[in-house]
Amino acid sequence: MLQKIYPRSKDKETVYLKSVITNPNIIVGDYTMYNDFVKEPKDFEKNNVLYQYPINQDKLIIGKFCSIACGAKFIFNSANHTLSSLSTYPFPIFFEEWGLDVKDIIKAWDNKGDIVVGNDVWIGYEAVILAGVTIGDGAIIGARAVVTKDVPPYTIVGGVPAKQIRKRFNEETIDTLLKLKWWDWSKERISKNIAAIQSGNLGYLL
């Protein structure tokens, strides 16, 4: 769907990310928003998605209705230096200097895969998400956390490296929410259920 850039007419610090992304390897769902009071929020893919070089074809996939706070960073595979070598020095990057084949440049780093963020995820101020991480639906990433491992759905994590603080709901409620997938409902149905969603009472949704 086509969306406006600014969710609020008088707020130029908050954008719908899907409307400002041009990189085909960054895929963002509807209504996911990014706020930046330091830099231009429309420059998210330049300032916040780091080391995502085309040679890797690694992807950043973010679901619907996510809230991403100022300064959050997504750091991709090219930021890594290989650990399987006897040296961490990235010789293949400097192929001209060392007479190496340019096609072997990706041997300079370890490739851990895409970054996948589920739906309704809240990523706090200046949090860092590393390559290969999957964040489940409904999760919360604390401010300045460094996420090195997958985060289960509806789990709050924080710290360096990020560790589980607690689950947001009991397992029965989490299972029901994952089956409901309210973020896939029509705008009209969501509008009718906003009060129920905000109430925190799952029974009002059913």
Residues involved in catalysis: 81
Distance from the Cα of residue 154 to its chain's centroid: 15
Asked if 117 and 66 count as a contact pair (C-beta separation under 8 A), the reply is: yes
Residue with tokens 């706020």: 35
Q: From CA 61, how far away is CA 58, in angstroms rounded?
A: 10
**In 3D, which of 162, 147, 181 has the Cα closest to residue 29?**
181
Structure tokens, 190:
């969501």
Residue 41 in tokens? 């929020």
First to last CA, the chain: 27
CA distance 133 to 86: 26
